[in-house]
């Protein structure tokens, strides 16, 4: 009986660890009903690549990733990552969408999935009003809404992977290093 209980505890611990490492462990009720918060054609129109292929990454392990921002928010994104500039920009505008495209390889040739965040005024004031979404390469929404595993990491505290960036460092939950 002890062996069975120990096995169950190990499985539960592994499941909890997996959830803590991904940005899709907890989901709230969907706001968009499972619809993508970014267009499937984001690379062709309406979005700018703000971080070219690099590896390793927070969500991509040793594989590559790129970061895209909708046109309306690109200038604010650049200002925040450059330290705020003369305008003192510290928050992304309402409607801003940031998409991190994750790849199956270091050369950024085969898409694995996307993780995205959308600023929705009044959605989650305690966490910058960001709506989070984890999407498969087949464009299936895996998780979305208030995802504590996302907002907690993007907070930027010294005890997580967004050290030196994120909200505690005046970067409105953005973690990608310049």
Of residues 15 and 132, more confidently modeled? 132
Burial 121-137 (b: 16+ CB within 10 A, else e): eebbeebbbbbbbbbee
Look at residue 18 in the predicted model and tell me its pLDDT.
32
pTM of model > 0.85: no
Look at residue 45 in the predicted model and tell me its pLDDT.
86
Task: Please give the span between the terminal C-alpha atoms of the chain, in angstroms, as a whole number.
Answer: 53
According to CATH, what is the number of the domain 2-169?
A: 3.50.70
Mean pLDDT of all residues in 156-175: 73
- CA nearest to 80, candidates 89, 70, 71, 69: 89
Strands, E assignment, 10-150:
47-54, 65-70, 97-103, 111-119, 130-136, 141-145
| Structure confidence by residue, pLDDT tens digits, 61-101 | 789 999 999 999 999 988 888 775 555 667 899 999 999 99
Residues 6+ positions from 3 with CB-CB distance below 8 Å: none
Burial environment of residue 8 by CB neighbours within 10 A (0 to 12, 13 to 18, 19 or more): exposed
Mean pLDDT of all residues in 13-25: 36
Average pLDDT over all residues of the chain: 78
Among the residue ranges 57-61, 110-114, 119-123, 172-176, the one predicted with the least confidence is 57-61
Q: What ranges do the domains of the chain cover? A: 2-169
Look at residue 87 in the predicted model and tell me its pLDDT.
55
pLDDT band at 113 (very low <50, low <70, confident <90, very high): very high
């Amino acid at each position: 009986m002890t062996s069975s209980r120990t096995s169950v505890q190990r499985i539960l611990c592994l499941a909890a660890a997996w959830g803590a490492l991904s940005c899709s462990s907890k989901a709230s009720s969907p706001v968009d009903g499972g619809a993508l918060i970014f267009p499937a054609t984001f690379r062709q129109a309406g979005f700018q690549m703000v971080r070219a292929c690099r590896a390793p990454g927070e969500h991509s392990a040793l594989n590559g990733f790129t970061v895209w921002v909708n046109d309306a928010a690109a200038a604010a994104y650049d200002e925040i990552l450059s330290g705020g500039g003369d305008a003192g920009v510290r928050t992304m505008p309402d409607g801003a969408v940031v998409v991190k495209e994750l790849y199956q390889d270091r050369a950024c040739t085969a898409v694995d999935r996307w993780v995205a965040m959308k600023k929705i005024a009044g959605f989650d004031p305690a966490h910058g009003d960001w709506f989070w979404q984890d999407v498969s390469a087949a464009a299936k929404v895996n998780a979305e809404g208030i995802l504590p595993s996302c907002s907690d990491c993007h907070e930027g505290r010294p005890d997580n992977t967004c050290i030196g960036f994120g909200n505690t460092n005046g970067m409105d939950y953005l973690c990608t290093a310049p």
